[in-house]
Amino acid sequence: MGDNNVEHLENVEERCGVAKGYLKSELFVGRKKKRLGDRVGIRQFGVNYTVLEPGAQSSLRHWHTGEDEFVFVLSGELVLIDDNGEQVLHEGMFCGFAAGDGNGHCLVNRSSTAAAFLEVGSRKPGGDTVYYPDDDFGPIDR
């Protein structure tokens, strides 16, 4: 057992945007992710620290058949868009999307400052399909 099970955000590589060929990739240019769970050896779920710059979006609106997702807002203001409509989220607010709920969702930063959140998603390799209700994209088996 080494001591690589403890880390600080500052030391984790930041991944910006998505590959050029990805659908609507311009929406994700201001999306910055740090993979925290991977960094400390966690495999059963992923934990990302994600920053959305003004105008950036978390993902295409989507839902999972097999994986639960959870978001906790750390700072700034985000708009959650899902089947319930739109809702503004602030620090201390959180939301969940249970596997198979069919509730396509994404987060957008419509404010003038960056917003940060933690996102957790279970990992079910071979046991998840992602649907994108607004886009001619997918479903994607994972």
Is 10:28 a contact under the CB 8 Å cutoff? Answer: no
CA–CA dist 69, 140 (Å, integer) = 16
HSE (side-chain half, CA atoms, 13 Å) at 24: 15
Interface positions, 23-62, toward its own copies (CB under 8 A): 36-37, 39-45, 47
Binding span for its own copies by CB under 8 A among 19-27, 64-72, 106-114, 133-141: 64-72
CA–CA dist 53, 108 (Å, integer) = 9
Please state the φ and ψ torsions of residue 23, each to the nearest 5 degrees. Answer: -60, 130
Among 14, 15, 16, 102, binds its own copies (CB under 8 A): 102
Interface positions, 118-137, toward its own copies (CB under 8 A): 118, 120, 122
What residues line the site for its own copies (CB under 8 A)?
Answer: 1-3, 5-10, 36-37, 39-45, 47, 67-70, 72, 74, 80, 82-84, 87, 89-90, 92-99, 101-103, 118, 120, 122
